[in-house]
Every structure is written in structure tokens, then in C-alpha cells.
Amino acid sequence: ISAAQPDATLEDKLEALECHFTWGLQYSRARLLRLGDKLEDIGTAEGNRWLGHIYNLQGYIHHQLGFNDEARSFFSRAAEAFCQIRNVVPDEGPWLVVNFGNKAWLHYSLGEHAETRVCLSRVDELMRAYPSPSEVELHPEICAEKAWTLMKFGPEKELLAADYFQKAIRMQPEMVEWQTSHVLALANTSNKDEILEKMRIAQRHDPQNFYLAAVYLEAQAERGQRIESKARELARRVLEHPVGSYSGIAPLLRVYKLHLSPDEAIHLAEEALERHPDERFLKMRAALCYKDRIFLNNECTLEDRMINRAISLHKDVSSLYPNSSLKIKISLANIYGKSHRIQDGDQIFKELLQIDLEPEDAQLLYNYYAKYLKFIKNQNYESIKYHMEVAKIPEQTFFRKNSICILERIKDRNRNRMCREIEEFLANLQH
């Protein structure tokens, strides 16, 4: 018992830390892999104020996936990035509290208890040297990193993220990037009129943030404002800068697709690709533009050139994102179906259906396959069976709700020979 006591104390100290390992960041392996891809696509261009936070989160993700050497490397890169961005001496500053906490957990998981204690000591020293301005709140640097991290873990975390950003800003209001991120965290959770005004103020303070500018344009367009000339001017500015998912190109393409035209969105994506032909993130955005152009239009026939370009981009993206290519492969199968190459679409679905997927991914696949069976192959009976397979998986996701809704509509219309079977299935279903 006495020999085990120090480790018990060590565990208590680790649990008390503020770092990625104690923030309840629970994700399936598949979702962690996808998040790792998204972080990689943010880019590491000079001036990225979130680079240290990106590397910290990448380190955590790699540890959770079992890649400890990579995790160690990312945590070291995070410390270096903070030093360069803040222009301070190495291993000093409150922004390193989370980083040393992460390192403590990594060392402990590897049985390196001496190194764990060194990291815990550094956390204590940093917290004494850089106390929080508030007696009741975490240091603003910790609040901001926690907020930024929570934003990456789905819409359900956005309100909590916004709350932590607000606390950080209250204590340290001069940090422009915190104010911008706070507004972005609120974008999907606040009153539209209220958030529009907040975005206007944030953009005035952060005029070079093209991601914010694109989201602001999108919000204005949704309120009925004319934004076409502003969107084209923003596109010109975005194309002159390094490309990454923070560059603003993704929300800007969404603005083009919904409020200008899908064809203009394609032209913008292709122009960006001409300037940066090796950027996988741009290939992904271009592929999605072509997919939307193909499926959002009710044309009986589509140009072979457009279909072939869409297929080529989807194949490229599928190989460039081996850890998160499920949806792009499904899109490719549907494009094959739309262009009457049904045998190729069938082959993709056949291969995907043989993969051992996590529950949420299985729901996604079965839901899309059910629609493919109905709309591409006109196999209504098989389509219903796959919507039932989605509903049987208990995870509460959009795809489960969608499949249940489709089954209920079929039952209510009472025109299908399976209506009785659907009614019994839904009655017995654990919602």
C-alpha cells in the first residue's frame, strides 16, 4: 500500500490539471482521425496565432490514437510555436500551462513518472509566476485555449466554448483573435440579428481575418442583403494569401454556391487550385463544389467534362484523405449513379459495406446507400431495409433521425406493401 501511495497522489495531481486530458474530449477513433485531418488542413503559415493550440490538440489526438512518438513531437512543437508567436524566452509564459499538463499525462501513460513530476512542477511554477487576474476564474490564456479546443468537438460544445472565450476576453480584452473566435463560436447559437452586429464589430477589429469576413457575408446574405460584389472582392483578397481552412475559402465557396451560383463557386475553386495545385484542402473544396453542382440541379443531362472532372477530383481526394474518405467515396458512388455508370457506383458501395465501421459511420453509410437504392436504382424494398438498419443503431445522430422520418412518411402515406412491417418496426424501436 505504501509503495502505491505516491502514484495515487500523482494521479490526483494529473486529474486536477487543466489540459486536453481533463477536458472531457471524448471522440470515437474515426472522428479523431477526421479531426486530425482538419487540423492539418488549417495550415502552418507564418502569423497563425493558433499554431501552438493546433499542435497541442494534435498531440492529444495522436496520443489517443496510440501514436505516442508523434504526440511527443507535437507537444514539443506546440511549446516552440508559443515561444515564437509570443516572442518570449523558451519555457516561460502562462500559455505553457496546458502544454506542460499534456506532457505530464503523456509521460505518465508511458510509465515515465520522474518526467511526469518534472512537468507537474513546471505547471506549479508557471501558475505561481503568472497568476490569473481573477480569483475565481482560470488564467485567460487557459480559458482561451480551452474554448478554442472545445469548438473543435462539435456544435454541442460551442456554447461552452463561447462562455470560456467570454471569460478570457473579460480579463484580457486586447486579444483580437479571442474576440473573433468568440463571435464564431456564437454564430450557430445566437439570435441572428444580435450575432450580425457582433460580427460587424469583430470584423472592424480584425479586418485581415478573411474567414470571419466570409462568415459575416454569409450571415448578411441569409438576412436578405445583397453581397455579390462584396463576395467577389473578398475572393480576390483570399486568393492572394496562403490557403488553408482558416483562409476563408470554405465559407466563401459556400456563399458563392448559395447566393451567387454553383458555377461561379466552381470557377473560384478552380482558380484557387491553379494557384495552389498541391493543396489537398482545395481539392476537397473543389470536389464538393462539383458534387453540389451535379446534385443541386435538375438537369436531365450533364456535360461529360463536368462529370469527368468531378470523378477525377473525388478520386484524388479519396487517396489524399485515407483516414476520412468515407463521405467522399459515397459522393463518388452517387456521381457514378447520376452519370449512369451504376456498376461503378455499386462496386464502391459493395466495398464500403464490407468495412467494419463505428456505429455513427455505419449509420451514415446505410442512410446514403438507402437513398442510392431508391433514387438511382429504384429498389424501394431494399432502400427501406437499409433505412431500418440505420434506425436499429441506437446512436442519436442526424442520419438516424432522417431514416426514421423517412420510414414514418412511407408508413403514413400507406401506399407501400411494407407499410405494416414498417409500422411494427417503428412501434418496437427504442427511440
pLDDT average, residue stretch 167-193: 90
Tell me the C-alpha distance between 267 and 281, whole Å.
16
pLDDT digits (tens, 9 = 90+) for 96-126: 999 999 999 999 999 999 999 999 999 999 9
Query: Is residue 383 situated within a structural domain?
Result: yes
Query: Is residue 67 situated within a structural domain?
Result: yes
Domain coverage including residue 385: 356-431
CATH number at residue 18: 1.25.40.10
Final residue before a domain boundary, out of 101, 131, 161: 131
pLDDT digits (tens, 9 = 90+) for 207-229: 999 999 999 999 999 999 999 99
Query: How many domains are there within the chain?
Result: 2
Percent of the chain residues topping a pLDDT of 90:
81
Other C-beta atoms closer than 10 Å to the C-beta of 15 total 10
pLDDT digits (tens, 9 = 90+) for 232-288: 999 999 999 888 888 999 999 999 999 999 999 999 999 999 999 999 999 999 999
Phi–psi pair at 159, nearest 5 degrees? -65, -40
Query: Is residue 346 situated within a structural domain?
Result: no
Nearest to 182 by CA among 197, 202, 152, 157: 202
> Would you state the pLDDT for residue 402?
98
pLDDT digits (tens, 9 = 90+) for 54-113: 999 999 999 999 999 999 999 999 999 999 888 777 778 999 999 999 999 999 999 999
> pTM for the full model?
0.91
Other C-beta atoms closer than 10 Å to the C-beta of 30 total 16
C-alpha cell at 16: 486536477
Annotate 56-97 with three-state secondary structure. HHHHHHHHHCCCHHHHHHHHHHHHHHHHHHHCCCCCCCHHHH
Tell me the C-alpha distance between 15 and 21, whole Å.
8
CB 328 within 8 A of CB 314: yes
- The confidence band for 26, taking pLDDT boundaries of 50, 70 and 90, is confident
Final residue before a domain boundary, out of 86, 116, 131: 131
Final residue before a domain boundary, out of 110, 131, 152: 131
Query: Is residue 282 situated within a structural domain?
Result: no
- The confidence band for 346, taking pLDDT boundaries of 50, 70 and 90, is very high
Query: Is residue 240 situated within a structural domain?
Result: no
Give the mean pLDDT of the chain. Answer: 92
Answer whether residue 430 shows pLDDT above 90: no
Give the chain's radius of gyration (CA, Å): 24
Query: Is residue 72 situated within a structural domain?
Result: yes
Query: Is residue 94 situated within a structural domain?
Result: yes
Tell me the C-alpha distance between 214 and 212, whole Å.
5
Query: Is residue 120 situated within a structural domain?
Result: yes
> Would you state the pLDDT for residue 46?
54
Answer whether residue 4 shows pLDDT above 50: no
- The confidence band for 305, taking pLDDT boundaries of 50, 70 and 90, is very high
